[in-house]
Amino acid sequence: MKMKKMLSAVLASVLVIGSVTPCFASSTQQKIDEAKQQKQEMESSISEAQDKIDALESKKGQSESYLEELNGQLEELKNSLQKLQDDYDDKQEELGQVQQELEEAKESEAQQYKDMKIRIQYMYENSSTSYVEMFLSADSISEFLSRAVNIAQLSEYDRELLDQYQETREQIAEKEKQVIQEKEEIQELQIQSQDKQEEVSELIEATYNEIRSYQDNISQVQSEQADLLAQVSAQEEEINSLIRQAKEEEIAAQKAEEEAQRRREEEEAARKQQSSSSGSGSSTVQTPPQNETEESTEDSGNSGQGKYLGRFRLTSYCPCPICCGSWSGGLTASGTVPTAGRTVAMGGIPFGTKLLINGHVYTVEDRGTAYGHVDIFNNTHSQALAFGSQYADVYLVE
């Protein structure tokens, strides 16, 4: 009776293990699939964020180029305005000189005109006696004629000199008018240059604000991207944890199956022994030896090789750009120098974890693969290619 109860309990436990373990495995795999789907969606969002950052960076670059061009224009305008100011100062000085020359010419003209009027007045007022006196005082006709010629020449000279002063005054007045006009033109150019400077300065300020806005947007998107990357990293950890859990459940299911098989064999042996005892008239019931029971219940996940993690996929990589991309030739994710025969990459377990694979102990020093996929470092790409893809039992060395 006792044997029947024991057999019933064994059968019940087998049924429970057979029904519950697949359920756990299915539930874990579903969680893994869901986590992978969420990770894929986040990676898609990260890609979209990167596209947005690239577009903003492009617009920012265009605005920066435009800002540089505007600064160049503003500098040219400042130089132009300074030149106009210098020209204006020169024209102001020139105008002062011209006005002084004009005043001097007017004064000379007035003085000459005054002197000429006095001589003419004197000549006309004394015209009745001057020629008589000149004739009487002259020693000869030739001297009289000479004096008369001199008087005529003096009058002609006065006239010519007066005409010359008048012409000079007109030229200076014309020059004054021209300088004033040029000065006004320079003032107009100055106003236009100042207006242009204000316009360019406004464009510079608007462009600078635009660049700052782009940078703020870029920073915001980068922050969102960083959050997504952190979520992806956390999701990867969760996926690795779920994969590790699935592996452990797989090992547990295997152990349960082995235990169930062992119990079935014990049950069969007990049944045969009971049948044999019944046939010989003996009611003695033998139980399995204590040592055999203890050995059969020993945790098959732990052995002299370490804790059994499962049968993992093995690949190989090297420090070349094909395998490592932009991280080629650098340190591992843990900061160590990758070394063939020691370094492996796998997620889901801490750096420094020792793994026994095919009788050789490796150290987890890098990332890039999920839990259950060990990437073994090799020195050359040809060695990595030759390694190919394999599967092996992996043990945790404790």
Q: What is the pLDDT of residue 298?
A: 42
Average pLDDT over residues 357-386: 93
Please give the share of the chain, as a percent, with pLDDT higher than 90: 21
Dist CA 323 CA 338 (whole Å): 13
- Does residue 276 surpass a pLDDT of 60? yes
Dist CA 373 CA 239 (whole Å): 13
Q: Do residues 25 and 285 make contact, with C-beta atoms less than 8 angstroms apart?
A: no
Q: What is the pLDDT of residue 126?
A: 56
Least confident of 64-78, 140-154, 206-220: 140-154
Q: What is the pLDDT of residue 151?
A: 66
E strands, 278-385, are 302-303, 306-317, 343-345, 354-357, 360-366, 373-377
- Hey, where are the domains in the chain? 94-210, 304-398
Candidate CATH numbers 2.40.40.10, 3.40.718.10, 3.40.309.10, 3.40.50.1220; the one for domain 304-398:
2.40.40.10
- Does residue 385 surpass a pLDDT of 80? yes
Q: What is the pLDDT of residue 4?
A: 35
pTM: 0.51
pLDDT tens digit string along 197-220? 888 889 889 998 999 998 999 999
- Does residue 352 surpass a pLDDT of 90? yes
- Does residue 248 surpass a pLDDT of 90? no
Dist CA 141 CA 242 (whole Å): 146
Structure tokens at 86: 């210098």
How many residues would you count in the chain? 398
Q: What is the pLDDT of residue 291?
A: 44
Q: What is the pLDDT of residue 209?
A: 92
